[in-house]
Amino acid sequence: MKISEFIWDEIVHGGHWGSLSAPAIALSFMYIVGDIRWELLAIVYLATQAVYTYNHYKEMEKDKLSNAPRVRHLRRYKKYLPLITACYSIGFFSLLFYFANKPALYLGSFIFLLGILFTRHGKHITTNIPAFKTIYTSLCWGMIPIFITVYCNLPFDLSIFLLSVFVFLRFTIDTIFFDIKDIETDKRQGLLTMPIIFGSRERCSNFLHIINLLSILPIMAGIITGILPAFAILITLTAIYTFIYLEKSKQRGVDILSISYILVDGEYIFWPLYLLVGRIIFNL
């Protein structure tokens, strides 16, 4: 295998592309509130990558059917995955201990623990509680603005709530879409994910379109009431991005894995760029 191919597989199947969502969201939030702490980008990235690597290692056998490319890649260094997970975790906690205040230290550790616990117990709970996986995962991601607020000693106000709701709704779409590729595996495990509850990809896709439209309401409400800066309106362009990949996923013979791990995970990378363009436009 060529080195370039291995690097590409590692970025996509090793979880790094998805983990970049965390610093992208963090940077976007800090840009909106006007308080950027660059070390936070490394902190949230390492935490997310540690959780992803742990999940991929523990569920490797279950993922054979739904995600064969990732399993093939990770098997190349399977015996090192526990050590790699430990290194990411140590890096996360080291930075957290060094930079964070006590409330942020406790909250960051709590969110990290929530991520680890889902791999250990989350799927079992999803067999009994419909859509538990979607709600749990989206809530964890929605806590990023809250964590940053605590870390930066910012005041809690309605803007924090609106941005958290926005992130929650965006990841509701993300999580449900990812579950589409896992339908067969999840059925065998008795999981009550949203695609299984809807019973068809078309009904699930229509629901995602509705959530996609609803997700822009917190941003619009914040701007109209003056709670959020006007340039934040540009982040709603992400709804157009999502509309495009949702429609693309309906095409016959489409590679749902590529859409999930490249387009869906890549959505958040553009958020800081949208906001930068928005600030430039509104400062003209």
Handedness of CA 127, 187, 68, 212 (dihedral sign): negative
CB atoms within 10 A of CB 170: 26
Handedness of CA 179, 73, 141, 105 (dihedral sign): positive
Taking all residues of the chain, what is their mean pLDDT, rounded to a whole number?
91
Q: Count of domains in the chain?
A: 1
CB atoms within 10 A of CB 96: 23
- pLDDT for 187 equals 81
Instruction: Inform me whether the pLDDT recorded for 65 exceeds 80.
Output: no
pLDDT tens digit sequence for 108-137: 999 999 999 988 877 778 888 888 889 999
**275 within 8 A of 31, measured Cβ to Cβ:** yes
Residue 190's pLDDT band, with cuts at 50, 70 and 90, is: confident
As a whole number of angstroms, the distance between CA 20 and CA 41 comes to 9
- pLDDT for 195 equals 86
As a whole number of angstroms, the distance between CA 128 and CA 125 comes to 5
What is the percent of the chain where pLDDT is above 90? 65
> CB within 8 A of 43, min separation 6: which ones?
92, 95, 96, 99, 100, 108
Domain, as residue range, for 148: 3-282
Task: Count Cα neighbours of 128 within 13 Å in the Cβ-side half-sphere.
Answer: 4
Question: Can you give the pTM of this predicted structure?
Answer: 0.93
User: If you ran DSSP here, which 8-state letter would residue 75 be given?
Assistant: G
- pLDDT for 251 equals 82
Where helices occur in 152-270 by DSSP H, the ranges are: 158-181, 183-189, 194-198, 201-214, 217-224, 238-248, 256-258, 265-266
CB atoms within 10 A of CB 173: 26
Which amino acid makes up residue 154?
A: L
**CATH number of the domain encompassing residue 115:** 1.10.600
Mean pLDDT of 148-152: 96
Mean pLDDT of 179-189: 79
pLDDT tens digit sequence for 81-116: 999 999 999 999 999 999 999 999 999 999 999 999
- pLDDT for 1 equals 62
As a whole number of angstroms, the distance between CA 110 and CA 120 comes to 15
pLDDT tens digit sequence for 2-58: 788 889 989 998 999 999 999 999 999 999 998 899 999 999 999 999 999 999 999
Residue 190's region, left for phi above 0, alpha for psi from -120 to 50, else beta, is left
Can you point out the beta strands (E) in the chain? Answer: none
Helix (H, G, I), strand (E, B) or coil at 24: helix
